[in-house]
Every structure is written in C-alpha cells, then in structure tokens.
Amino acid sequence: MPPVQTMNWVDFDALRGETDLALIPLGAVEVYGPHLPLGADGIATSALAARVAERVPAFVAPLIPVGYSTALDDFPGTLSVRPSSLVAYTEDVAESLIGWGCRRILFLNGHAGNVPYLNELARLLESRHGVRCAQIDWWRFIQPLVEDLVESDLLPHGHASEFGTSVMRHLVPEHVKQERAIRTPPATKDPFPDFPRPGRYRALTETGVLGDGTVGTAEKGAETMRRAVDRVVAFLESEAFRAVDGGQDPG
C-alpha cells in the first residue's frame, strides 16, 4: 500500500474496508557519523513501513521526521523537538487515523530518545479509544534478528556502526559517503551502565560514531531489512496484535 499522502480519497476510503491497521513511522534528524545521513532513523522506518505494507494491508502514515535528540545537539545538523511536542503531534496523527476506523496502531520508531514518550502515548490511546497499540525500537529491534551476521568486535549495533551503516548502504547508497566511515570506541567507560543518566553524546564520541562503520555492507543491510519485515508481519498477523473486541479498554 502506498503512504496515505500519495493516495486519493477514493482509494483511502476503499482501504478502510480491507484493514484496521495503521503504521506510523518516526525518526530523528541527528548526527549519524561523518558518512551517513542525518535522517537515517526515519529513512529506515519509512522503508520498513513501506515493505510491511506490501505484504499486509495497512495505512502508512507520513513519517514524523524529528524526534527528541537534545543529547546530540553538540553536533551540527541535529534537530530536536520537546517530548511534549512529539507526543502531541503523534497523538493527533494517530487519532486522525483512529477516526477513520483504525483499531491497531504500530509505531515504527527509529530513535531511542522517542521510546518512553511513545510508550506513554500508546497507553493513553488504548485507554481513551479501546484500540491496540505497540511500537518497535528499530535499532534495538533488529539486534536479536541478525546475531549471525555480526562481523565487528566493537559495538556492531552502536551509533552509525556496522548495522546502521549496512542498512543505509542498502536503502540509500547515494547518501552514504563510505570513504569517510570510521571506527570509534567510546571515549569513556561507564562502570555503571545499568543506571541510566542524562549526558552529552559528545562526551562519548567526537565523530558521532560508536563502533565500526567500516564493516557495514549493503548485503547485510538487505538481509537485516528482510528479516525485520518478516518479524513485523508475523506480529501483525498474530493473536498478540488482534483488534480489541467491542472497542473495550485492552487493560
């Protein structure tokens, strides 16, 4: 299915008879190493949404491109919105789709900074409308799916590292400057990583990379996307994400 912004209203209306599912991709605009585009998170989730909708009928919402990225704003090009702005805008988009009959909302989220706010929004929408909501945290979501593809010995799922680079080389090779890809270990070691604390990303890396971007390949990116689509489709077709009977609060 095409994204809703490219549909006409007649086809949009007809799709309402085929599905109650909406996919809402979200991203960020932030440093992603010297070799990858600032919008990598949204590029990945937009592609995921499009490929899932080729297999499962769904409304694909326009990308919500800018997320909560203040920890990275020491780097040129990083954009950020307040959590309240992110939630309000996403809530309005979701409620518009709910108004047209969508009873299942899957947020395809490409940015870790958005995760807690989308969790709260999902809970609110379920309580208010009796719909079913879920999200994926893209770069964490893919990790167990690609364990056998890992080659790097340094944070293969770090920032703009092996798999970030691989996915971008597959999806938008024209926007990747692979000759700039580098390997960057964390500048400091945290003896208490189990205690999340606010911090500045530049304290960890001067390059915007955490890991090894030099080993990213388009082939690994293509396989990552294929496995991710399979996993999302399996979830969408499962009882775990059925619509709530009678529009009741799913609890």
Q: Which tens digits make up the pLDDT trace of 159-193?
A: 999 999 999 999 999 999 999 999 999 998 888 98
Q: Which tens digits make up the pLDDT trace of 212-242?
A: 999 999 999 999 999 999 999 999 999 999 9
Quote the pLDDT of residue 245: 67
HSE-CB of 220 using CA atoms within 13 angstroms: 25
HSE-CB of 129 using CA atoms within 13 angstroms: 23
Task: Assess whether pLDDT exceeds 80 at residue 247.
Answer: no
Q: Is 247 helix (H, G, I), strand (E, B) or coil?
A: helix
What tokens were used for 80? 């950020």
Contact present, 223 and 146 (Cβ < 8 Å): yes
Considering the chain, what is the average pLDDT of its residues? 95
Contact present, 135 and 107 (Cβ < 8 Å): yes
Quote the pLDDT of residue 194: 87
- The CATH classification number of 4-245 equals 3.40.50.10310
DSSP state string for 181-238: --EE--SS--S-TTS-----GGGT-SSS--EEGGG--HHHHHHHHHHHHHHHHHHHTS
pLDDT band at 196 (very low <50, low <70, confident <90, very high): confident
Task: Assess whether pLDDT exceeds 90 at residue 1.
Answer: no
Least confidently predicted of 80-84, 174-178, 199-203:
199-203
**DSSP-H helix ranges across the chain:** 9-15, 40-53, 83-99, 115-129, 138-141, 162-171, 218-236
What is the spatial distance between Cα 249 and Cα 246, in angstroms, rounded to a whole number? 9
Task: Assess whether pLDDT exceeds 90 at residue 147.
Answer: yes
What tokens were used for 195? 């205690």
Task: Assess whether pLDDT exceeds 70 at residue 7.
Answer: yes
Task: Assess whether pLDDT exceeds 50 at residue 250.
Answer: no
Q: Report the pLDDT averaged over residues 188-208.
A: 88
The CA–CA distances, whole Å, from 50 to 37, 57, 85, 232, 233 equal 20, 11, 25, 12, 12
Quote the pLDDT of residue 52: 98
Bridge partners, residue 26, by sequence: 64, 109
Q: Is 18 exposed, middle or buried (CB count within 10 Å of its CB: 0-12, 13-18, 19+)? A: exposed
